[in-house]
Chains A and B, each alone.
Chain A
């Protein structure tokens, strides 16, 4: 069941996705979150953020749109109040770091360098912060400069989280690899629009919002496949994973591990149930380790 990413051992390839799992405490009321391979924290920014006003979540066909706007307590408060608890769970702790500008990322990295955080997941793709967030994740050359600057300061394994809204997902993955990313995670949410036709207004105050859930899975899987074929660093796949079969599919497309987000809302025990099913599944399909199937889809 074990996997290794950038020298860090994960008990299993199941990671709770950023923004859907808080810092793990809430779900720990339902099951021991220490059984997870890893937990990716709520997206952090150097300064605390209140997030967006208005409706923040809207259900669509087999999907969910959200516009939380990176509400979070800020990196310092995370380190003081959330990290110690996360560390003692026994799961790999991934600090998901967002930002409005490069200076914010760097300031966040410098604080996180000094902590017990196992890994940084650099969110260059959050579509909700009007000033910036998006821009880094759209154009490969912009992402390259940002990741390179962060890499120079970052002393933790650096995973870069890609936006599916990138102009060209393969070039984006390659640019981040070249800039020094140790691993990649994809995908973040797809930019979408929902309209209240009675009021003739968009549902979300920020107009566009991010789509996640089962609706995006085939596209996410295709993107993971394309990127895996074109980079050498490990890729963590996500987007609409709901079942053990979905997990195996992402691994067959080339992913080293996966993250589960929206499915936690549909079934709060989903990560636990998949982790429990995996050994039997491996036996059923006759494999002893993930390498036997990783990337078998050419």
Chain B
């Protein structure tokens, strides 16, 4: 983990309100599912850095895919090549790619999709069969990229624009899999967990909480688990399904 400056190589709007930010960085040790805290503004203007998951990394190029939703991501969306971005990371535990074996499903919803990309690549390189399920509201993104990195790709779109019309969780056949990794809206992930035929300990959920320090010091990113309050930033963001009680 390090705090350092990076340079913007390029930025493109890949779908409506969804931006791909490519940064030049020194060599990084990154586990799939980890994230960075980012900022691109003067110190005390927006006091908090913003957590964004790693989408893709290689050859000193770190890529983030984010949705513009508020002040910070609006400022990110204005970045141009040559601009500076402050990074703190890589942070969090990431997905436990070496703890699973066999047939793995990755289920992503909306802006929870990007961190599954490196995860799919890693799981496959470890010899697993990897099916990817992507759920969208309307605009699709990253579909081609995933098509090249998984065994089977399933798409659901709430407006029926492409693939299954409805929620992605409707079309996951749990019985086919040895383990499931998921990242997306909490309702989606908990739905998946509730309806799974797998042991809850064989599902891993990547949680999203508001964060301040990002490194485990301030206790603001509280995630309520069956093992007590945990820090989403440092003990997560990935938690086992068995750490949540479903009711």
Contact A263 B43 (CB under 8 A): yes
Q: Say which residue of A27, A57, A213 sits within 8 Å of B44 (CB atoms).
A: A213
Residues of A within 8 A of B39 (CB): 266
| Range of interface residues on B (Cβ < 8 Å) | 20 to 34
Contact A62 B45 (CB under 8 A): yes
Contact A64 B212 (CB under 8 A): yes
The distance in angstroms between the C-alpha atoms of A217 and B200, with both chains bound, is 48
Stretch at the interface among A47-55, A81-89, A92-100, A159-167: A47-55
Residue on A with the closest CB to B2?
A30
Contact A56 B216 (CB under 8 A): no
Smallest beta-carbon distance B36→chain A, Å: 12
Residue on A with the closest CB to B1?
A29
The distance in angstroms between the C-alpha atoms of A157 and B213, with both chains bound, is 30
Contact A51 B219 (CB under 8 A): yes
The distance in angstroms between the C-alpha atoms of A269 and B228, with both chains bound, is 30
Question: With A20-B217, A265-B213, A268-B213 in contact, do A63 and B228 touch (Cβ < 8 Å)?
Answer: no
Q: Which one of A27, A68, A268 has the greatest number of beta carbons of chain B within 10 Å?
A: A268
Contact B215 A26 (CB under 8 A): yes
Question: With A59-B46, A64-B212, A267-B43 in contact, do A27 and B222 touch (Cβ < 8 Å)?
Answer: no
Q: Say which residue of B49, B88, B212 sits within 8 Å of A66 (CB atoms).
A: B212
Question: With A20-B213, A71-B229 in contact, do A213 and B47 touch (Cβ < 8 Å)?
Answer: yes
The distance in angstroms between the C-alpha atoms of A30 and B2, with both chains bound, is 6
Residues of B within 8 A of A243 (CB): 43
Q: Is B170 an interface residue (CB 8 A)?
A: no
Contact A22 B48 (CB under 8 A): no
Q: Say which residue of B47, B229, B234 sits within 8 Å of A266 (CB atoms).
A: B47
Q: Is B224 an interface residue (CB 8 A)?
A: yes
Smallest beta-carbon distance A257→chain B, Å: 21
Contact pattern, B 180-215, Cβ under 8 Å of A = 1, otherwise 0: 000000000000000000000000000000111101
Q: Say which residue of A19, A50, A268 sits within 8 Å of B3 (CB atoms).
A: A268
Q: Which one of B2, B220, B224, B228 has the greatest number of beta carbons of chain A within 10 Å?
A: B220
Smallest beta-carbon distance A146→chain B, Å: 25
Contact B3 A20 (CB under 8 A): no
Q: Is A208 an interface residue (CB 8 A)?
A: no
Q: Is A190 an interface residue (CB 8 A)?
A: no
Contact pattern, B 31-62, Cβ under 8 Å of A = 1, otherwise 0: 00000000100011111110000000000000
Contact pattern, A 1-28, Cβ under 8 Å of B = 1, otherwise 0: 0000000000000000001111000110
Q: Is B218 an interface residue (CB 8 A)?
A: yes
Question: With A30-B2, A51-B229 in contact, do A265 and B48 touch (Cβ < 8 Å)?
Answer: yes
Question: With A57-B212, A265-B48, A268-B3 in contact, do A71 and B222 touch (Cβ < 8 Å)?
Answer: yes
Contact B44 A214 (CB under 8 A): yes
Q: Is A113 an interface residue (CB 8 A)?
A: no
Residue on A with the closest CB to B224?
A53
Contact B218 A19 (CB under 8 A): yes
Q: A64-B212, A66-B212, A213-B47 are in contact. List 9 more A-B contacts (CB 8 A).
A: A20-B213, A20-B218, A51-B222, A57-B212, A68-B222, A242-B43, A263-B47, A265-B49, A266-B39
21 contacts between A and B (CB under 8 A): A22-B218, A26-B216, A29-B215, A30-B3, A30-B215, A51-B222, A53-B222, A62-B47, A66-B212, A71-B222, A240-B44, A263-B43, A265-B48, A265-B49, A265-B213, A265-B218, A267-B86, A268-B3, A268-B88, A268-B213, A270-B43
Give me the interface of B with A, judged by CB distance under 8 Å: 1-3, 39, 43-49, 86, 88, 210-213, 215-222, 224, 228-229, 234
